[in-house]
Structure 1
Amino acid sequence: MSPRTDRPAPTRRPTAPDGLLVVDKPGGWTSHDVVGRTRRLAGTRKVGHAGTLDPMATGVLVLGVGRATRLLTYLVGADKEYTATVRLGVATTTDDAEGDVVARADASGVARAALDAQVARLTGDIEQVPSTVSAIKVDGRRAYARARAGEEVELAARPVTVARFDVHDVRRVAPGGDGLPDDGPAALDVDVTVVCSSGTYVRALARDLGAALDTGGHLTALRRTRVGGYGLDLAVTLADAEAQADRDGVLATVPLATAARATFAVRELSAAEAAALSYGQWVGPSGRPGAVAAIGPDGDLVALVEDTRRRGEELARPVLVLAPA
């Protein structure tokens, strides 16, 4: 039996109120790392996130604390906005800067007109093959786990929407510059903004752009600037979140109703409707497609509702009750 130690147990922080925390994820951290740190800051294990960011990426990571974790299912599908840098002339195993280089080509001769034409082809409703190191499951295992084990991974193309794919700047990278070998070909760095549907891989856009231009391509930088209605203006660093929790005694979160108003259409409820929904009962229709945030007279989020036909009548059914009776 090991001897007892006199070291005191770590003090548990007060439990944070139910709500969202929008974090500006630092580079080098996994999304799970951020969740782990937030669990300690929030004094609860009931913390989750609404969409993974790769370790090399920075920017908006939406976390749910307490009952807000139940909202995350509906936030995962929100559209997203990124700023990124695509390097043309170098292809990697992971389609980003963390992978091994598999091919190099001289990209210095790519004309701006040709670049814009291929960017246009990758904009709108497209079929995209995800990166082989994505988190998509293949026969029960993540694609990245199979790829790292040396297995051949083939993923099917799937429909995604790229609402915006804007080129802001194009810079030539000379041999020997910014990680290029002295005796290798020149590359082009392309700064872009991408607004896309959930499930779109910006790494795959970089890969496909390079393939279309016969140069190869990968991401050298990626920053998520928005998820649904949550942008960098709402985001805090982990250091700032910890400082705030230390100063105020408890981690601050975005209240459920405020969080819902940022992304969902809103329906203001009567007292009778709020009571009915709290019991899981259906109410009159909202007249809007998709999930609608139903806010009670006291300003609290009661439920998410969706219009549905039942017995020939259009009604709003609660798909998520957050203020049960």
Structure 2
Amino acid sequence: MAEQRPRPPRRPTAADGFLVVDKPAGLTSHDVVGRCRRLAGTRKVGHAGTLDPMATGVLVVGVGRATRLLTYVVGADKAYDATIRLGVGTTTDDAEGEVVSTPGVGAGIDGADLDREVAALTGDIQQVPTTVSAIKVDGRRAYDRARAGEDVELAARPVTVSAFDVRAVRPGVTADGTSVVDLDVSVVVSSGTYVRALGRDLGTALGTAGHLTALRRTRVGGYGLAAACTLAEMEAQADADGVLATLTPADAARVSFEVRELTAAETTALGYGQWVAPSGAEGTQAGIGPDGTLVALLEDTTRRGERLARPVLVLAPSG
């Protein structure tokens, strides 16, 4: 019987808060969550917005009670740098899929045509998600159906592409002799937008095919690469300091929301889920108590003809 290796000692539990991870290529978002669970010494870890294994960049991870804030981060806009290869189509609309078409680009891509079709894919558009997406069809993920050989048809959905900038145009030839054009692009998109589908649709609009060969997320809401750490850097920090460092819920909330400084009386009331005086601001606010902790997320609303601020999420315990 093989000798069992002793389990490594459990790490001290990290404080509730956020981690901003620079995800490497080759790992799923779930893989990153698993690594963060081990580093944080708790299973209560989640992420805000899946990145494909091929993709790199910003993945916001919540630890402990801060996982309750992730819902408000998932819907934030996102920024990406990507490379679109025109002239080749794949099953997944990225380089991880099988090549299904190689129409090439012939003599190249006309600059005026490129500008026109990029503009057509900018703003409020209807987008058909990529077939291998996590969208559920009759209770099953689209990618599970596609990988089982089923024909998957997804309905177009409204998304917003706030910016679609072409930074470089690089003609080339693949190993099999197909003429292609690689476009280095930067995009800013709403939650639920598939950058892979933008590459696919741009290729189709230009009379050829398209897929992504690289994708890096540079920002999720107010969280950018400048604040992100690699998994190796996080592990080194946890080893050096004895516990994994997190961005406190209050500091995390300051990135995403306007702040309302609460009085002691408001802090107590909100801890019991009670409504308080309105702030007069639009949207969700982060209520920060006198001790600097995040007490609740608040939204002004009208109840029985009176304008009040109601807690939409309470994090501080009552008492």
Is TM more than 0.5 here? yes
> How far has the Cα of 1:187 moved from its partner?
0.3
Q: CA contact under 8 A between 2:127 and 2:158: conserved in structure 1? A: yes
2:26 to 25, 28, 38: 28
Q: Provide closer, same or farther for how the CA distance between residues 7 and 157 of structure 1 changes in structure 2, counting only shifts above 3 A.
A: closer
**Residue 175 of structure 1, CA deviation:** 4.2
Q: Distance in 1 between matches of 2:193 and 2:211?
A: 15
Map Cα deviations across residues 69-113 of structure 1 (whole Å, 9 max, x no partner).
Answer: 000011100100000000000011100001111111232421111
- Paired positions, count: 317
Amino acid at match of 1:237: T
Residues in 1 aligned to 2:191 and 2:60: alpha-carbon distance in whole angstroms: 14
Query: Which residue does the alignment assign to 1:154?
Result: 153
TM-score (norm 1): 0.95
Secondary structure class of the residue paired with 2:240? helix
Q: Distance in 2 between matches of 1:287 and 1:160?
A: 30
Structure 1 pair 116–6 and aligned structure 2 pair: CA distance change class (3 A): closer
In 2, distance between residues paired with 1:69 and 1:258?
14
Q: Map 1:199-278; keep pairs closer than 5 Å.
A: 199-278=192-271
Correspondence 1:109-188 to 2 at 5 A: 109-176=108-175, 181-182=176-177, 185-188=178-181
Q: Could you tell me how far apart the structure 2 residues matched to 1:284 and 1:173 are?
A: 63
C-alpha displacement at 1:274, in angstroms? 1.1
* 2:22 matches 1:51: no
Provide the C-alpha distance between the structure 2 equivalents of 1:96 and 1:298, rounded to a whole number of angstroms. 48
Structure 2 partner of 1:82? 80
Counterpart check, 1:102 vs 2:100: yes
The amino acid that maps onto 2:290 is: P
Match of 1:283 in 2: 276
Which of 60, 63, 68 is the matching residue for 1:62? 60
Select which of 69, 72, 75 maps to 1:71: 69
TM-score (normalizing by structure 2): 0.97
Q: Work out whether 1:324 is the aligned partner of 2:314.
A: no
Q: Stretches of 4+ moved more than 6 A in 1?
A: none
**Hey, what's the Cα distance between the residues in 2 that align with 1:254 and 1:175?**
45
Equivalents in 1 of 2:199, 2:28: separation in Å?
Answer: 21
Question: 2:261 is aligned with what amino acid?
Answer: E
Amino-acid identity (%): 73
CA distance in 2, matches of 1:123, 1:256: 34
Tell me the equivalent position of 1:9.
7
Which stretch has the larger CA shift, 205-214 or 8-17?
8-17
Cα distance in 2 between the residues matched to 1:148 and 1:9: 36
Deviates more, 1:108-117 or 1:74-83: 108-117
- Unaligned runs of at least 5 residues, structure 1: none
Gapped runs of 5+ residues in structure 2?
none
- Measured in 2, the distance between the counterparts of 1:67 and 1:6 equals 35
The match for 1:198 is 191
Partner of 1:309: 302
- 1:60 and 1:191 map into 2 onto residues whose CA distance is 19
Q: Distance in 2 between matches of 1:52 and 1:7?
A: 33
CA RMSD, 1 decimal: 1.2
Deviations 1:282-318 (A, max 9, x none): 1112222322111111111000111221111121111
How far apart, in 2, do the equivalents of 1:281 and 1:146 lie? 46
How big is the shift at 1:34?
A: 0.3
Aligned with 1:223: secondary structure? Answer: strand
Following the alignment from structure 1 to structure 2, what is the Cα–Cα distance between the partners of residues 130 and 308? Answer: 35
AA matched with 2:172: V
Alpha-carbon distance in structure 1 between the residues aligned to 2:83 and 2:92:
15
Higher alpha-carbon deviation: 303-312 or 193-202: 303-312
C-alpha separation between the residues in 2 aligned to 1:7 and 1:97? 38
Q: 1:214 to 1:277 in 2, by over 3 A?
A: same
Q: CA deviation at 1:6?
A: 7.2
Matches of 2:5 and 2:59, distance apart in 1:
35
Task: Give the partner amino acid of 2:22.
Answer: D
How far apart are 1:174 and its partner, in Å? 2.1
Q: State the one-letter code of the partner of 1:302.
A: V
Change (3 A) 1:273 1:37: same
Mapped to 2, the partners of 1:79 and 1:15 lie a distance apart of 31
CA gap of 1:117–1:252, structure 2 versus 1, over 3 A, is same
